[in-house]
Structure 1
Amino acid sequence: MANPAVKCDLLLGATNANVDLHSQVGNWTLTVNEDLPALEAEVIRKAWKEASRSVVRLEWVGGRNLLWEEMPGGAVATGLVISPDGLVVTSTYFFLDRPSAILVRFADGQIVPGRMLGRDFNRMVAVIKVNRDCTSFLPRFCPQPEIEVGMRTIAIGWTLGDEPGLAVGILSAKRRIWGKAFQTDARTSPRNYGGPLVDLRGRILGVIVPFSPDGKSPVAGVEWYDSGIGFAVPWWDIQAVLPRLAAGEDLYPAFLGVLFSGANPILAEPVVLRVHPGSPAEQLGLQPGDRIVSLDNQDIRRLSEIEEILQRRYAGQEISVEWVRDGTRFQGVVRLGVDRRVLQGGAVAPAP
């Protein structure tokens, strides 16, 4: 008999349980004439079981999240084991402040204390450290070339009960939220923020976070709870900043410090309307009326191109800028700053 995940790959394209599907795979031939919904459920359960061994339940006291000024005692969230030496990733949604105590419950029932390390307020993830060998809890990661729009996805979270829950959907799009996230129609909410988005083999695609499509909401993503519009940060983007987060560093969205003219953020031309006092843009010498023509060595024609470049960068990174003023071209390199307003009122979204 075929491996259930292989069978499901063959079968999920057929939505009518009465359809026969005949396919050649390797040296065997599979002719399907069975209950496709039952087969799909079997594969989903196996994928959920595979991924759930890497999912942890977090309980903590103290701190704030994006909706409540103070978290109640016994607050819970989901996390994902991401390294053998005890690093767990979750969402910053729950951790605007560092909690006074964290308990981490593993799939085998063991509960160990954890401590908050670094937080990434750009991609909305945070890292917690536990003193436990986590080799047996390590997940498998889906190779990037195998991730395709239309594939089945499973969103997993563990905030209630003795085992994680799940929601099933498809991968609706890649490179959403200015290139930072996958989009899925699996239902996402605080119940699974910090948990994994996985494929039908239980392999990790990314970590579920409360992004907002406009990227500016002070409680980013709250308006999309359980709406069929959910987001997950790709696992490789988390791995890229994991050393900094593991070292206890907090990462913030990049801030250049300019306001552009034009009401349409997609089609507007990149002409400076105002420069924030004391900002990197002011240090660079930008003035109202300047037109940015290159950013990070990439040609710029529309404001949306600037937005996508900046939203993927972090405060502290250097970036090259070229602009035109009265027909004269200028260029310079500046270190991107932190907009202190991004944490006011719980907002953690980048500003241009």
Structure 2
Amino acid sequence: MRNPFMPLLLVPTLVGGIVIGNQFDVWPVDSFAWAGGQSAGDDLDDVDASPLVAGSRTLAKIAALTTPSVVHIESEHTDSQTGIFAEEKGAGVIVSDPRGSGVVIVTNRHVVGEAALGDIAIHIHDGRVIRPKQKWSDRASDLAVLRVEGPDLQPARWGDSDETEIGHMVIAMGSPFGLSGSVTMGIISAKGRRSLNLQKGDGADLINQDFLQTDAAINPGNSGGPLIDMRGRVIGINTAIASKSGGNEGIGFSIPSNLIGRIVGQLLQKGKVQRAYLGVQLDPAFDEATAKRLKLDRVRGARVAIVYADTPAARANLKLDDVILSFGGVDVQDENHLILLVSLTEVGKKARLVVLRDGKEITITVALANRVEKS
């Protein structure tokens, strides 16, 4: 079955849909009237006081304030494995450099890929085209950071994605089908989406999955563009869609700003992202029958299927069929939730695990190691 999840790579050619021409007549404003000679606009004279108009003005203000911070990105490179020449187009958002001065652009890794600095063109809202001075990227989160220089580069406000609730209104900004400066509106449909089988094209595993789901229209070319809350703050980076057609079907996914902050911070400070690991293989098919066999009241937590030798898990004496119920005081929902929690924990930190073993809960402390140490 065709995988419905895909990153938002730009479709090379815009097919149909947009008609531009001079064959249309133009009617003067207020030329249409209701029967009896009353202008259609007369009944709307007092609409300025309505909540809809107030909300519309708020959306317009947010869009106007944020648009100068959104950029259109074009890159080209030759794939190091296949030798195939590729062009990518997407979006990005200008933000303040957390190190204290200047600005950087946050986007998706798959937008800039393996492109050299000279092969990345950043189109600013005012028409300027600049090139990045430095690039950092992280395969496991599909994020990239570009250091740029220039006058009047306006950073967007950064938000707290943990404050975002299901049902909150949001707007998505970017360059769908190359149409830069586009704005769409929707709501947060869900939080904490994981286990998405994303077709990234480079075979890399997307370890850090904790997506915000939105029904704001997101299409190819929106990759790297910001998801904005009703206070004009960036709460996510638009990354993928679930689609059978290749276009918007009301199911888009954005990396939450708090996760982005951790990744970007490490990239800028260390040049790479360190991820902790336990050293176990978890059971992706953990079901009710297995939970019942392990004397668990329902399917919850993450079941240990294999413990690898000479790893943090082995040193902490984790065992086959242990069910990890909580990690660092956070209840574990499933195996992918545990992977996310562990990978975002500081390397070397000791974490407290609550484990179900032989029908009884026990507490285990494990010292986490760097994932690259895993053989």
TM range (shorter): 0.5 to 0.7
Q: What SS does structure 2 have at the residue aligned with 1:53?
A: helix
Match of 2:7 in 1: none
**1:60 matches 2:99:** no
Post-superposition offset of 1:87: 0.6
TM-score if structure 2 supplies the norm length?
0.63
Aligned-partner residue type, residue 149 of structure 1: I
**1:311 matches 2:340:** yes
- Residues of 1 paired with 2:112 and 2:127: CA distance? 24
Post-superposition offset of 1:40: 6.2
Alignment RMSD (CA, Å): 4.4
Determine if contact 1:155/1:208 at 8 Å carries over to the other structure.
Answer: yes
Match of 2:147 in 1: 129
Match of 2:254 in 1: 232
The structure-2 alpha-carbon separation of the partners of 1:193 and 1:54, relative to structure 1 and needing over 3 Å to count, comes to same
Post-superposition offset of 1:85: 0.9
**Aligned to 1:275, which of 273, 295, 307?**
307
Q: Superposed, which structure 2 residues align to 1:200-215 within 5 Å?
A: 200=230, 202-210=232-240
Determine if contact 1:319/1:336 at 8 Å carries over to the other structure.
Answer: no
Post-superposition offset of 1:137: 0.9
Match of 1:3 in 2: none
**1:106 matches 2:130:** no
Post-superposition offset of 1:113: 1.4
- Residues of 1 paired with 2:230 and 2:162: CA distance? 15
**Aligned to 1:164, which of 156, 181, 193?**
181
Determine if contact 1:117/1:248 at 8 Å carries over to the other structure.
Answer: no
Q: What SS does structure 1 have at the residue aligned with 2:150?
A: coil
- Residues of 2 paired with 1:109 and 1:92: CA distance? 24
Aligned-partner residue type, residue 203 of structure 1: R
TM-score if structure 1 supplies the norm length?
0.66
- Residues of 1 paired with 2:318 and 2:256: CA distance? 34
| Aligned residue-pair number | 301
Q: What SS does structure 1 have at the residue aligned with 2:223?
A: coil
Aligned-partner residue type, residue 367 of structure 2: V
Aligned-partner residue type, residue 140 of structure 1: R
- Residues of 1 paired with 2:241 and 2:351: CA distance? 27
- Residues of 1 paired with 2:228 and 2:303: CA distance? 42
Post-superposition offset of 1:192: 0.8
Q: Which runs of 5+ in 2 are unaligned?
A: 1-40, 196-208, 288-297
The structure-2 alpha-carbon separation of the partners of 1:143 and 1:244, relative to structure 1 and needing over 3 Å to count, comes to closer
Aligned-partner residue type, residue 130 of structure 1: V
**1:76 matches 2:89:** yes
Aligned-partner residue type, residue 249 of structure 2: S
Determine if contact 1:117/1:127 at 8 Å carries over to the other structure.
Answer: yes
**1:47 matches 2:62:** yes
Match of 1:199 in 2: 229
**1:295 matches 2:327:** yes
- Residues of 1 paired with 2:311 and 2:241: CA distance? 26
Aligned-partner residue type, residue 168 of structure 2: M
CA displacement, residues 57-88 of structure 1 (integer Å, 9 cap, x when unaligned): 222222669xx967745432211001161310
**1:245 matches 2:262:** no
CA displacement, residues 213-249 of structure 1 (integer Å, 9 cap, x when unaligned): xxxxxxxx99985221112233343334433222362
Match of 1:10 in 2: none
Aligned-partner residue type, residue 320 of structure 1: A
**Aligned to 1:183, which of 197, 209, 213?**
213
Post-superposition offset of 1:183: 1.9
The structure-2 alpha-carbon separation of the partners of 1:103 and 1:153, relative to structure 1 and needing over 3 Å to count, comes to same
Post-superposition offset of 1:277: 5.2
Determine if contact 2:75/2:112 at 8 Å carries over to the other structure.
Answer: no
The structure-2 alpha-carbon separation of the partners of 1:310 and 1:319, relative to structure 1 and needing over 3 Å to count, comes to farther
Q: What SS does structure 2 have at the residue aligned with 1:304?
A: coil
CA displacement, residues 25-47 of structure 1 (integer Å, 9 cap, x when unaligned): xxxxx7439xx5x8766654443
The structure-2 alpha-carbon separation of the partners of 1:144 and 1:91, relative to structure 1 and needing over 3 Å to count, comes to closer
The structure-2 alpha-carbon separation of the partners of 1:120 and 1:43, relative to structure 1 and needing over 3 Å to count, comes to same
Give percent identity, aligned residues only.
23
Q: What SS does structure 1 have at the residue aligned with 2:320?
A: coil
Post-superposition offset of 1:272: 2.3
Post-superposition offset of 1:105: 1.8
